């Protein structure tokens, strides 16, 4: 299973943008990049996913490097509710039910 590398922790101020990086230098051509987050005392929740092109949804944006060896999750305006552990996961094609979680990035948001 291909691995991802994320910073252990990051800090942000409320209402400012947050850029959460992820390195995945051993990504294969059929690996999708998924992001999940886990709020305190809850199960993980889906944030966004992509393959090659940048993606946007109501929660966040995903910027994928041209060589696909890194990606960045962008929260446009952090709120206190965004404080969570964010996981960047490589998901092989047709293996959507098998998520291999790394250590993730613990994001704290200051008021």
Partner 1 sequence: KAGVTQTPRYLIKTRGQQVTLSCSPISGHRSVSWYQQTPGQGLQFLFEYFSETQRNKGNFPGRFSGRQFSNSRSEMNVSTLELGDSALYLCASSIGTGTHNEQFFGPGTRLTVL
Cβ proximity to partner 1: between 43 and 111 the closer is: 43
Contact between 21 and partner 1 by CB under 8 A: the answer reads: no
| Per-residue CA distances from 85 to 10, 31, 38, 89, 105 (Å) | 10, 22, 5, 13, 5
| Shortest Å distance, C-beta 8 to partner 1 | 12
DSSP per residue, 47-88 = EEEESSS-EE-SS-EEEE-TTSSEEEEEESS--GGG-EEEEE
State the residue for tokens 């790394």: 102
The residue range among 18-26, 61-69, 75-83, 100-108 that interacts with partner 1, by the rule CB under 8 A, is: 100-108
Q: How far apart are CB 15 and partner 1 at their closest, in Å? A: 27
Region 76-95 residues binding partner 1, contact defined as CB under 8 A: 87, 91-95
Residues that bind partner 1 (CB under 8 A): 32, 36, 38, 42-46, 49, 87, 91-104
């Amino acid at each position: 299973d291909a691995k991802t590398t994320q910073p252990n922790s990051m800090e942000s101020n409320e209402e400012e943008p947050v850029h959460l990086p992820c390195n995945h230098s051993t990504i294969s051509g059929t690996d999708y990049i998924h992001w999940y987050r886990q709020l305190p005392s809850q199960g993980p929740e889906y944030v966004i996913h992509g393959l090659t092109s940048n993606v946007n949804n109501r929660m966040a944006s995903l910027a994928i490097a041209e060589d696909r060896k890194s990606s960045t999750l962008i929260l446009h305006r952090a709120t206190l509710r965004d404080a969570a552990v964010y996981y960047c996961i490589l998901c092989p094609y047709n293996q959507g039910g098998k998520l291999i979680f790394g250590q993730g990035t613990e994001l704290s948001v200051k008021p």
